[in-house]
Amino acid sequence: MTDAGGSDRVEIPKDAFLRRTGQLWKLVVGGLGLPLPTALWGWRCMKNLRPDQPTSEMVGCVAVLVAGALIIVSLLASVRCPKCRVRLVRKTLQAPEGAEAITTFLKLRSCPSCGYVPDEGPIR
């Protein structure tokens, strides 16, 4: 889906809730940064499967995949409102608007649950 300008880019405002609360990095790392290397690691492990492979090697591969998945889930689950503590990614993914809810979430200037508007600058 493209907007009126024909662009698929989502511009996140400077005063967006995620920027002001200092949580945008969690979405970038958990949603973009870690999934690709984790998937590439899994592909490498599957490609190197062989009948004479030691069990410890396969256990190591699976352990790295599980750790990567847990880190991704933990990062995404940690995106919360500093005031009401609601898990914002879960709330966004459960929204009936589908993919449009993600775009709307990135542009929000207040918490979608309690309406909290963060002060200037990231919260530490």
Query: Which value, to the nearest 10 degrees, does the dihedral of the CA atoms of residues 36, 89, 91, 73 take?
Result: 60
Q: Evaluate if pTM is beyond 0.85.
A: no
pLDDT class of 119 with cuts at 50, 70, 90: confident
Q: State the pLDDT at residue 124.
A: 47
87 in helix, strand or coil? strand
60-91: burial string, b at 16+ Cβ within 10 Å, e else: ebeebeeebeeebeebbeebbbeeeeeebbeb
For residues 12 and 103, the answer to whether their CB atoms sit within 8 Å is no
Per-residue pLDDT reduced to its tens digit, 25-67 = 999 999 999 999 999 999 999 898 888 989 999 899 999 999 9
pLDDT at 120 > cutoff 70? no
Domain boundaries, the chain: 17-107
